[in-house]
């Protein structure tokens, strides 16, 4: 297998920032189709074994596969780890496609995207706005908004952990409040007020008051941080990821709270309906039946609905039984996971002109 592909260290720019990548390419002298691997929300580097394995498996379908450092990884000059807008990630993906299309060893009309989790949303957004993408493979890409997906995730993961109903209710309430506090038109006001009253006194009550009776922004920022520090040791907060949220909130001055909320609003309000209904390129959507991060049944239903609304007849949806968010069963990739993608990619390759 080592002789069937070559590996090349590459560099490309996004908004004048340099990123480093690895291009795994079939050992052939003729131009070939290509595939870009997009990270989930937890960005990583080009040497991440997860993406290396995908590249070395999918190259067998005759595609060059590019995986790269997220901004701030690997010594590149990207914008750094931390909060990113989905719009930036869309620009980044389009820039990477453009880099590949300009290479003489890549077929310019045959460059597609593979994206896991949040990377699935980026697949939708790029394919809806950029005609240069030949196909997309969203893996565990939610069919719902980030706000709905996050609330689902906290409840499903808390339930799988064995938390009792009140613990689950507290975790879900706080996650919904963390959504509503950044939105100008709250999504969950009625259910949050009802649940806050039902659960009785606690720091969640203070967060509820802050959310629906806002105070001066800098003071609000300080109170939010104070409340979250007050609950961070509770076991039911495990899936709120406060160990990541709090450093992010404390990384900017309180005076920037309104600006940060605006950035979060832009992410929370992203609706796949706005993009999948415009996707007309071939789509292979992959899900894991036992995924606790996204609502799989609802996502499958919405993919089918939105892609049909787009008039897209070239889509395939595959749900792997008992598989997780990363399409693993018992720590290993689900049986047939790579085969499904390679077979589908092989069919796509046959449609590309030389």
- Measured over the CA atoms of residue 53, residue 59, residue 60 and residue 61, the dihedral's sign is positive
What residues does 120 pair with on adjacent strands? none
Contact (CB, 8 A) for 133 and 281: yes
Contact (CB, 8 A) for 28 and 64: no
Beta-carbon count within 10 A of 326 CB = 17
- Predicted TM-score (pTM) of the model is 0.90
pLDDT for 75: 52
Contact (CB, 8 A) for 239 and 153: yes
35 Cβ contact list (under 8 Å, min separation 6): 58, 63, 64, 65, 66, 111, 112, 113, 114, 137, 345
| Residue found under tokens 């820039």 | 95
Contact (CB, 8 A) for 40 and 72: no
Q: Give SS3 for 324.
A: coil
Q: How many residues does the chain have?
A: 354
CA distance 296 to 1: 35
Query: What are the structural domains, with CATH classification, of the chain?
Result: 2-145+271-349 (3.40.50.1820), 146-268 (no CATH)
pLDDT for 71: 74
Beta strand extents in 203-327 (DSSP E only): 283-288, 315-320
pLDDT, tens digit only, all 354 positions of the chain: 445 899 999 998 888 788 899 999 999 889 999 999 999 888 888 889 999 999 999 999 999 999 998 876 655 444 444 457 788 889 999 999 999 999 999 999 999 999 999 999 999 999 999 999 999 999 999 999 999 999 999 999 999 999 999 999 999 999 999 999 999 999 999 999 999 999 998 999 999 999 999 999 999 999 999 999 999 999 999 999 999 999 999 999 999 999 999 988 888 888 999 999 999 999 999 999 999 999 999 999 999 999 999 999 999 999 999 999 999 999 999 999 999 999 999 999 888 864
Q: Give SS3 for 320.
A: strand
Angle formed at CA 192 by CA 252 and CA 251, multiple of 5 degrees: 10
| Tokens standing for residue 270 | 């992203």
- DSSP letter, residue 321: T
Return the closest-CA partner of residue 114 out of 337, 350, 268, 352. Answer: 337
276 Cβ contact list (under 8 Å, min separation 6): 124, 128, 143, 302, 303, 306, 307, 310
| Tokens standing for residue 284 | 């292979």
């Amino acid at each position: 297998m080592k002789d069937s592909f070559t590996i090349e260290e590459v560099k490309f720019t996004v908004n004048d920032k340099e990123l480093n990548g690895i291009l795994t390419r079939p050992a052939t002298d003729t131009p070939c189709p290509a595939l870009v691997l997009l990270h989930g929300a937890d960005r990583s580097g080009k040497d991440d074994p997860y993406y290396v394995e995908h590249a070395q498996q999918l190259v067998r379908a005759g595609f060059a596969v590019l995986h790269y450092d997220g901004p701030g990884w690997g010594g590149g000059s990207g914008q750094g780890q931390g909060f990113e807008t989905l719009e930036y990630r869309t620009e980044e993906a389009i820039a990477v496609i453009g880099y590949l299309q300009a290479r003489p060893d890549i077929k310019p009309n045959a460059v597609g995207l593979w994206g896991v989790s949040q990377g699935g949303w980026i697949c939708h957004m790029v394919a809806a706005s950029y005609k240069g993408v030949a196909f997309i493979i969203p893996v565990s890409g939610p069919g719902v908004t980030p706000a709905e997906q996050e609330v689902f995730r906290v409840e499903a993961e808390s339930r799988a952990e064995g938390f009792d109903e009140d613990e689950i209710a507290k975790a879900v309430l706080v996650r919904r409040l963390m959504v509503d506090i950044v939105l100008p038109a709250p999504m969950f006001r009625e259910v949050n007020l009802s649940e806050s009253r039902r659960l009785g006194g606690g720091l969640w009550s203070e967060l509820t008051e802050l959310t629906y009776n806002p105070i001066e922004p800098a003071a609000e920022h300080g109170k939010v941080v104070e409340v979250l520090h007050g609950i961070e040791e509770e076991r039911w907060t495990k899936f709120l990821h406060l160990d990541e949220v709090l450093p992010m909130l404390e990384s900017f001055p309180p005076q920037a709270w309104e600006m940060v909320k605006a950035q979060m609003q832009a992410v929370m309000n992203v609706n796949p309906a706005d993009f999948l209904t415009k996707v007309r390129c071939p789509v292979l959507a992959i899900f894991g039946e036992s995924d606790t991060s996204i609502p799989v049944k609802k996502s499958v239903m919405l993919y089918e609905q939105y892609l049909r609304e787009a008039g897209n007849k070239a889509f395939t949806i595959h749900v792997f039984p008992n598989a997780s968010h990363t399409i693993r069963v018992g720590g290993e990739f689900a049986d047939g996971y790579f085969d499904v993608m390679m077979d589908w990619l092989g069919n796509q390759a046959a449609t590309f002109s030389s």
